[in-house]
């Protein structure tokens, strides 16, 4: 897992959230009142822990032979990640028509997930990989 500079990411996301109508906490508070050093340190620590847990989970999923995952967001998310919600990604590259998943957390405050798409789940949705590929949304990080 690549090491991420959470302080730099917090700075970038603070600037990005200036143009977002409803930024997530604690960014909304920081934009209003400035960053509290303790809150900033806590956010960085929580983001690093979440990234580590997510990486471990996705590694286990991939090692077990699963490839398809779906990006899911909690209700009331900030909207920056909205275009990825419900989109499918290929963990192991077995489905080259699908992009690799975004790095989680995308922003230090989000706690979105990548959930396994089993054959049963695929059957229950009535969608196949070609239909998922038609709706694919590659992760864009050109603003970094």
Q: What is the 3-state secondary structure (H, E, C) of 62-124?
A: HHCCCCEEEEECCCCCCCCCHHHCCCEEECCCCCCCCCCCCCCCCCCCCCCEEEECCHHHHHH
Q: Report pTM.
A: 0.89
In a domain, 14, yes or no: yes
| Percent of the chain residues past pLDDT 90, beyond the cut | 76
Q: Which residue segment(s) compose the domain that 99 sits in? A: 6-134
Number of domains in the chain: 1
Q: What is the model's pLDDT at position 50?
A: 96
In a domain, 143, yes or no: no
Residue 125 reports pLDDT greater than 60: yes
In a domain, 121, yes or no: yes
Residue 53 pLDDT grade (very low, low, confident, very high; cuts 50, 70, 90): very high
Q: What is the model's pLDDT at position 10?
A: 97
In a domain, 120, yes or no: yes
In a domain, 144, yes or no: no
In a domain, 142, yes or no: no
CA geometry: angle 46, 48, 51, nearest 5 deg: 105
In a domain, 126, yes or no: yes
């Amino acid at each position: 897992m690549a090491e991420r500079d959470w302080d730099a990411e917090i700075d970038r996301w603070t600037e990005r959230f200036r143009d977002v109508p409803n930024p997530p906490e604690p960014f909304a508070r920081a934009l209003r009142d400035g960053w509290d050093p303790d809150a900033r340190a806590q956010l960085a620590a929580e983001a690093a822990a979440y990234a580590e847990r997510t990486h471990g989970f996705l590694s286990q999923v991939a090692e077990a032979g699963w490839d398809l995952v779906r990006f899911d967001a909690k209700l009331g998310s900030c909207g920056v990640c909205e275009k990825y919600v419900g989109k499918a990604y290929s963990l192991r590259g077995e489905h080259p028509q699908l992009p690799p998943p975004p790095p989680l957390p995308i922003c230090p405050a989000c706690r979105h997930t990548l959930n396994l798409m089993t054959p049963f789940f695929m059957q229950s949705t009535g969608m196949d990989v070609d239909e998922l590929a038609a709706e694919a949304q590659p992760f864009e990080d050109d603003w970094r």
